[in-house]
Structures are given as C-alpha cells and as structure tokens.
Structure 1
Amino acid sequence: MNGAWRTAVAVFLVLSLLAGTVPSSRAWALDLEEEKELGRKMLQTVREHFRLIEDPEVAGYVQGIGKRVVRSVGPVHYDYAFFVIDHATPNAFAIPGGYVFVFRGLLELMDSEAELAAILSHELAHVQARHIHKQLEKGRMLSIAAIVGTLAGAFLGLDGKAAQALAVGSMAGARSLQLKYSRENEEEADRLGFQYLTSAGYDAHAMVTVMQKMRRMNWQSDSRVPSYLLTHPALGERVGYLEQLVEHGATGGSRAAFRDAVGDYPFIQAVLMSGHTDVDAAQNRFTGWLQDPARKAAALYGLGRLALQKGRLEEALAHLRQAAILKPASPLVLNSLGEAYQRLGRLEDAEKALRSALMIDDESPMVHLRLGLVYQDQNRWQEALQHLKRAEGLAPLNAELDYHLGVLYGRMQDLGPAHYHLGRYAMRRGDFQLVAFHLEKAQSYLPASDDRIKELARWLKEAKRTPRDARMQVLDGF
C-alpha cells in the first residue's frame, strides 16, 4: 500500500505452535481460535497504549462504512470490527481476528466518505491477499507473543525494547521482521481494493485523491506512531500508477458509483472537532463555517453538538433542527436531533426523528442505540432490547453498548446477562475488581458451560497476568 493509505495490516497469519521446536516444512496455519486469540491479544495491546474513541457517532460511522466494504469482499472467515484510535498521527491498520483500526489523524486528513472507504478497501485487500502472513512465514515466528510484539512494533510505533518485551520467550521480535509491503503487494492490493471499493458503490478515483492529499502533506517523523507513508514508500510513483488504473477502468467492472462520495463525512469531522479538540477553537471554527454554504449544515451540527455537551438543550435543539432542514437525509444529524429531544423529555419527537434516520440507513448502530435508549425511557423494554442488540451486532466490542445492555437487562430482572454485559463494560474500563464481582454474580445466574461465563473468566485470567504498570495504564487511559 503505498500511497494513500497509512496503514498497516495484519492478517490471516500463519504459524505453528510447536513447543520449543522449529516449524517443519509443512505449511504454517493458525486455526480460527488461535487467530482470534492473537487478535484479542493485539487488541489488548492497543487498549494499553492508546485511547479508543467510543463516541457512537464516530465509531458507528466508521463501523458502518467498514461493514459495507466487507460485504463487497466476498466470503470472509470472521466478523470484522472497526475502531478509531484517538491519536493525531495519520495511520490505519488491520490485525488478525478481523480488527481494523483507523487513527483520528487520518480521519481529519480526509474529506469524504469515499476516501475512507478507499483506505479500508486497500487494507482489506492486503488482508485477503495474506501479505503479512507471507512475511511472518519467512520470519519463522514461533509464538503468538512474538507476533504481537512484531505487529505492535510495526503498527503502533513501540520502540524496539517495548516491542521485544511483548515477544516474551522469543528471539524473533519486532526488529527481526520489517513489515513493509513490496511493489507486487501494492499492485495486488490496488487491484483488489479497486474491486471492493466499486462493488461497495464508491468512485474508485477516491483512492487517487486521498493519496494526492498525503503527497502534499509534509509529515514530520516526530510521533511514536509510524504514519502510513513511512510503511508505504514510493508515493509519487503510486499516484501516477493509480491514476492509470482509474483511467483504464481497472476495477473489475463498469458499474457507476451510486453512493454520494462525501456522504456524512463533514459531520464526522464536526464531531471530532467538538469532542476531541479545544472547545473554544471548535466554536470559532464552526462560526466561521456558517459563512460557507457548503459547510453551513456541518457548522450547525457542530454547534448543536457543543451545546449538547454543555447542557444547553434548547440551543442545541435550535441548531440541530436547522441542520436537519439543510440535510434532511443525514442519519448523523437526525440521531443528534433525537438525542436533543430525548434529553428534553420529548420522547415522541425523539422516536420520530430516529425512525426517520433508520428509514435512511437501517444499519446505523448509533441510531439503533439511541432509539433503544428512548424506548428504555418509555419503559418499552422489549423494543429497547431489540434495538440495543441490533446495535451490538452492527458495532461489537463497544463499551457504551455493554453498559446500556447491562442496565436494561437489570431493569428487566434478567440478571445473568445483566452482570455479563456490566462485566464486559468493566473490563473495557480497566476495572478488574469489578470484572471479578460481575463474573461471580453472573456465575450464580448462568450455567457454568455458558460461553459468556467462559469469556469473562478468560479476560480476567489474562488481566491478572498483565504487569501492574500496564494495568494502571489501562485505568489511566480509559
């Protein structure tokens, strides 16, 4: 991947776990359970070093675009989950088990939904082509720990000492394997990525535009996280190559793009500004945007979000209603409008706005979450559960969802699932004592053979093996 996507991908890795022996000439292979374990460990490492953005608007939006691209890939062996890391470096990567990460800095660089879809398409192409797997096979990785250390060093910018510490018991750490894509890798990922992107309904030219943006930027290598460009060289050459692919229609099909290239992307950038930058700076930026007709709707949306954060609900409602007039088909705007109505106690108006949003996009996890909370406020438990479970299916591994599901199950007096979800929430918040409490309670309501019990027990066991300083880092970060 050179060009335009900064990222990192890691994927269907293979290895043989032979206690203390060198793998034989037979093909390495992780079974699905081992691959999932590798993914879980890498996810844990990411959580220990970075904060994840769990704002339902941002997380749900990226998850939705990612799932749309995944459907264009064809058969896959696991469910992909998409996360946003709250870090200014422009980067993205995928790891075994179906976990895909996009950094906030990359979202701030792009200008359209199609460009985000282009990056995800290219990353998934590397995964499908098993490019990282082939490099790991050459590196003769002997353990999952060694692979975690290698991926952490390559994609998270951990220094050699830190990465090697992750590769416990192995001489093969991050320094022994340079995860860089070859020119052949990039060509294959380009062609596959073009197919995925156009099959998902986007204009393949977005791959060119996002790379051109990065080419114009003069990134400084002062971050601990490697940017996309550092692991994908020859940027100028790749811009020309991609332009030729677009010109000659190397997409595997001639279907015209049918999705709005920009989509709700300006609103996502407004969310990032309102929630992850200086509030006064965001206020001034949105006020300036009001003078630009192309950005006025996003400006009103951003001002509405800031007012919601400050508890100025009537002001928020006024801004969001104006934004909805300008952009009536935006699930993001309608979702925040529904939140404003809900917090004002106008539950019927909230339901109406959110149902309108679902008519536009029935696969929006953030809208299902908000509608579930509205139904919960109305004591319509089963309808609330239906939408919260739908949101969970669309955006798994979300701490906020686990919290709300735990509370809802508790109100419904279904205490086994209630303690399970609250236990998952506690784990993601780094509160291991609370995890132990909810595990004990869940065990009294659920059979010992229940997979949910096994999941909490496994997480707790892994947490106890985590060094104290790492546990404190989790607590501080979350």
Structure 2
Amino acid sequence: MIFRTVRFILSIFLFCFYPYTCNAFGEFSLKKEAELGKKFKKIIRSHLPLIQDPEINSYVRQMVFKLAKSAPYYPFKIEVDVVQNNAMNAFATLAGYMVVYSGMVEKVDSDSELAGVLAHELAHLTQRHVAKNIERSQLVSVGSILTLLAGILVGGNTQAGQALMIGSIAGAQSALLKYTRENEREADQIGLNYLVKAGYDPWGMVEVFKKIRKQRWLSGGTLPSYLSTHPAVEERIGYLEDRLKRLRVKSELKKSVELQLVQTLLRSKYNSPKVALHYFKGNSCYDLLGKGIVYARLNALEKAKKYFILLNDIPDCKKNAVFYREIGKFYYQYGELNKALLNLQKSFLLNSKDSLTLFYYARALAEEGLIKEAEKYFQECLVKMFYNANVHEIVGIFYGKHNKMFKAHLHLAYAYLLQHKIKKFKFHLKKVKLLAKTSSQKRELEKLQKEYKELTNNY
C-alpha cells in the first residue's frame, strides 16, 4: 500500500507539476496549462471515487454550462466531475476542470446555493487564478507534498482513508496554489455576476457560505479553500450581503424537482442505510424511490419490491426515466429479466443517453441471449463510462463467455488498470499482446499501453 501511495503522490506532483513549475523564468502558457490540466484530470478520474450516475452528473454539468454562458470568452472547455465524498466542498484546477463533492450537492436547500459555489469556482477558472499563481510562484511547495503524503499514508485503504485522500488532494492543491485575498474577492464578485446573469437567486451564494460555516462548527472540520483563505469568512459573507441589500435583491430560494431527484439518488445510494432511511418517511415518488433503493441495498427483497411496485403505480412517478431505470435495475439484480427489460426499455425510450440504463439493458439482453444487441449497447457504455472499472470488467466477462478472447483480455486489463491492480493488469496485457493480430487490434493495444503509461507515469 505504501509503495502505491508514494507512486500516486509522485504521479500527481512530479508528473504533473515538475515540468511546468521548475523553470524559474518560463511562462505558464495556455498550451502548458492545457497539458497539465489534462494530466491532472486523468489522475483525478482514475484515482478518486467518481459518481457514475448520469442523472447526478447531468444536473451538475448543466448548471455549470448555464453559468458558463454568462461568462466572457474562455479558451478551455469547462468540465466538472462529482466525487463521492460527504464534505461540503468543491475546487477548481486548471484548463476548465473543476471538482464538486457529492456532499455539497446533497446538503444544499436550493439550486441557487449549489450554483453559488459553482459560480465561485467558475470565476477562479475564467480568471485563471491557479495558472497565474503557478506562474508567479514557480516552485512546488514541499509542505504541500508532505500534507498529501500524511493524508494518504494515514488514511490507508479504508473508505475513511479514501475520504481523507480526497481532502488531502484538495488541501494540498490549495496549499500549493494558494489563492490570494484579491483572488478570493474577485471570485466572489465575478461569480456573483455569473449567478445573476444565469438567472439564479444571488442570495444562494450567501446562504451556501453560511451552511459551510455551520457545517464546520458542527463537525469540527476545516473550511474549503474558498472560505478558509483571507478575507475572513464573516467579512466575505458580510460584503456579499451588503452588495445584495444595496441592489435591493429579494431572496426567493427554491428547490427544483431535478434537485430533489438528484438528492434522493445521492442519499439512498451513498449514505449508510440507516442514515438514508431517515430522509424517506413519506409516500412521495422520491420517498418511495429512496426506500426501494435502500432496502435493495440491504437485500430486503420483499420490502424493496413493495416500494418499487408502489412507485410504478403512481402516474406522476412515471414521467422520469430514472424511476424506470431504478426499477429495471432492481428486477435485473434479482433475476426477473422480463420485468427488468420492460422497465429498462421504458427508461431508454424516455432518455436514450442514460449510460446506466444502457449498461443494465445490455446486461439483461446478454442474459436473454441477444448477443449482438447486447454488444452494441455495451460499446455505447464504454464510450460514456470509459473510466469505470466495473463496466470494463462486465464487458470483459461478456466477451470471454462468447470466446472473443482479445476483447475479453483487453477490457479486463482496463478494469485492473483502473483498480490499480497492476500485477493482474500485466497478466491481461501480456494476453492482449499475444492476441493482437489485426491492425485494429494493434491500435487497441497501443491505446491500452498509452493509458497505462499516462495513469502510472511508467515511461
């Protein structure tokens, strides 16, 4: 474990930062920012527990895109990932890439509060604060490396350790690329402008900062970087309140049905069952969905089925593809393929872009012996969820069962690479090399080897 964590540290700080920060007189150009941002993004996506539910990701990404339309020209594509972590936090990196924690999405009481955080981080990106600070500082901070090292080694391989690792990465990134007082004030003010132009309630930014501050008092934890740096938290909340009062902006914070659904998915899937059930005490579509998912996690089949049947009987609950998707997943996992296919087909008709629907639909088709159709949807899943080890593993097993051994070993190699099980990865890589005969297979081999080099810095 220690060797793997040390390697991970080196891959982030030496592989990412060294080529760009050690040139004492070099300019941190857009090209260099793009190269560094790409590497950092790939490391984040391959090492941290990303939320893979397209409904959650789509909600957050659409919000970011809406805010970005209110911003001036920015040379990079804006991208955002949601990391599975209960903390109320988010951070911007480089070249248009930001990360938001699932805890932030789960704990807000309105869309505008989440938009307030995302607008602040977007302002850090559009003003290129991180890039400018790299250019200004030139040197990698040894303290930040030690912070990350301590976090990972203490955390170990446990779920708590993963959470600590995530926090350490964000903390080390903050220590390495500290925002100045002017950076933070600028991100607040410009982010507030983005918020207003995009049609969100600007009081959302004030309210979410208050929530983060309260969360710190309750948990004894630290504030995220954009609240922990100068100016002080109270001062920052104060000047935002003063600005809105001068403009006579009234607060009308609301929670959309989209946010209610996303929070239902996060709470039912990623909290402990006991905590999750605390949220679902009524008989609304969201309560029934939440209870169905939680009881399925607990293997309480009859209880889960009861709530999914009730969900399927309420007309208002049938308007969203996600309800059919979750019902279909449940029936697939418990072997009722006809009901699984029926519900997954309904979900697919309502939203053909949902990668989880495609994934379980493909698996159900494969179980039914519809091999060509299953393969088609598996390939679509791989495009949408390339960095999902579970998808590669299931696809690899699928091809192995049908004696397509090159593809079987190829996807099992990806699965183990993404799980950082390098010994097993190399076993399947060796098989891929032996089986690669055609030009297309050799291109797939080259792509696999390139991913290995980039994810492990093994040049």
State the TM-score, normalized to the length of structure 1.
0.69
* Equivalent residues in 2 for 1:244-283, closer than 5 Å: 244=243, 261-283=255-277
Within a 5 Å distance, the mapping from 1:37-436 to structure 2 comes to 37-41=39-43, 47=47, 52=49, 54=51, 56-57=52-53, 60-69=54-63, 71-72=65-66, 73=68, 77=76, 80=79, 82-86=81-85, 88-96=86-94, 100-141=98-139, 146=140, 150=144, 153=147, 177=176, 179-183=178-182, 185-188=184-187, 190-191=189-190, 195=194, 206-219=204-217, 222-223=220-221, 226=224, 229-231=227-229, 233-239=231-237, 242=240, 244=243, 261-283=255-277, 285-286=278-279, 289-290=281-282, 296-324=284-312, 325=314, 327-411=317-401, 413-436=403-426
Cα deviation 1:71-99 (Å, max 9, x = unaligned): 4436764573513133x432222334665
Give the AA of the match of 1:406: G
- Counterpart Cα distance in 1 of 2:298 and 2:29: 58
Structure 1 residues 459 and 217, CA, compared in 2 at 3 Å: closer, same or farther? closer
Indicate if the aligned counterparts of 2:45 and 2:387 stay in contact, CA closer than 8 A: no
SS in 1 for 2:32: coil
SS in structure 1 at match of 2:122: helix
SS in 2 for 1:102: strand
Deviation at 1:196, TM superposition (A): 7.3
Instruction: Quote the offset at 1:186 in angstroms.
Output: 4.1
CA contact (8 A) 1:94 1:123 kept: yes
1:409-463 Cα distance to aligned partner (Å, 9 max, x none):
444544434333222221232311111112112223231685423234415754x
Deviation of 1:407 (Å)? 3.0
Looking at structure 2, the residues matched to 286 and 210 of structure 1 have their Cα atoms a distance apart, in angstroms, of 20
Q: Does 1:437 align with 2:439?
A: no
Partners of 1:198 and 1:384 lie apart in 2 by 44
Distance 1:415 1:195, change over 3 A: farther
Secondary structure of 2:100 counterpart = strand
Distance of aligned partners of 1:212 and 1:450 in 2 relative to their CA distance in 1, 3 Å threshold: same
Structure 2 SS opposite 1:30: helix
> Is the alpha carbon distance of 1:79 and 1:419 closer, same or farther for their aligned partners in structure 2, counting shifts above 3 Å?
farther
**Aligned equivalents of 1:385, 1:202: Cα separation in 2:** 42
| Counterpart residue type for residue 179 of structure 2 | K
Q: Which moved more, 1:29-38 or 1:398-407?
A: 29-38
Distance 1:451 1:230 in 2: 45
Give the alignment partner of residue 453 of structure 2, picking from 449, 455, 458: 458
More helix per residue: 1 or 2?
2
AA matched with 1:428: L
Pairwise CA distance, 1:127: 1.8
CA distance in 1, matches of 2:396, 2:181: 47
CA separation in 1, counterparts of 2:82 and 2:149?
14
Contact 2:295–2:301 (CA under 8 A) maintained in structure 1: yes
Q: Which amino acid aligns with 2:124?
A: H
1-side partners of 2:454 and 2:311: how far apart?
43
Output the amino acid matched with 1:187: E
SS at match of 2:319: coil
Inter-partner Cα distance in structure 2 for 1:221 and 1:286: 20
Give the Cα–Cα distance (whole angstroms) in 2 for the partners of residues 391 and 198 of structure 1. 35
Could you tell me which amino acid in structure 2 is paired with residue 123 of structure 1?
Answer: E
3-state SS, counterpart of residue 93 of structure 1: strand
**TM-superposed deviation, 1:205:** 5.2
Q: Is the 8 A contact 1:341 1:347 kept in 2?
A: yes
CA shift, 1:339, in A, is 1.1
| Whole-angstrom CA distance in 1 between matches of 2:341 and 2:173 | 51
The root-mean-square deviation of aligned C-alpha atoms, in Å, is 4.5
In the alignment, the residues of structure 1 paired with residue 189 and residue 262 of structure 2 have an alpha-carbon distance, to the nearest angstrom, of: 26
- In the alignment, the residues of structure 1 paired with residue 246 and residue 322 of structure 2 have an alpha-carbon distance, to the nearest angstrom, of 34
How far residue 268 of structure 1 moved from its aligned partner, in angstroms, is 4.1
* 2:38 alignment partner in structure 1: 36
Contact 1:341–1:350 (Cα < 8 Å) also in 2: yes
Q: 1:372 to 1:222 in 2, by over 3 A?
A: same
The DSSP-based 3-state class of the residue aligned with 1:101 is strand
For the residues of structure 1 that align with 2:215 and 2:39, how far apart are their CA atoms?
37
User: Secondary structure of the equivalent of 1:219?
Assistant: helix
User: Is the contact between residue 64 and residue 394 of structure 1 (CA under 8 Å) also seen in structure 2?
Assistant: no
Residue 274 of structure 1: how far off its partner (Å): 4.0
Deviation at 1:374, TM superposition (A): 2.5
Change (3 A) 1:419 1:128: farther
Question: Relative to 1, partners in 2 of residues 1:192 and 1:395: Cα closer, same or farther, differing over 3 Å?
Answer: farther
Structure 2 unaligned spans of 5+: 1-11, 154-171
Unpaired segments ≥5 residues, structure 1: 1-9, 160-172, 251-256, 466-478
Would the alpha carbon gap of residues 157 and 449 (structure 1) be closer, same or farther in structure 2, given more than 3 Å must change? closer
Q: 1:410 to 1:98 in 2, by over 3 A?
A: farther
Aligned to 1:379, the other structure's residue is in SS state: coil
Q: 2 CA distance for matches of 1:424 and 1:359? A: 30
Letter in 1 for 2:129: H
Q: Secondary structure at the match of 2:391?
A: helix
- Per-residue deviation at 1:154? 8.8
CA positional deviation for 1:130: 1.0
C-alpha distance in structure 1 between counterparts of 2:195 and 2:41, whole Å: 23
CA distance, structure 2, for counterparts of residue 28 and residue 66 of structure 1? 26
Q: Which has the higher contact order (CA 8 A, sep 6+)?
A: 1
Pair 1:330–1:187, CA change in 2 (3 A): farther
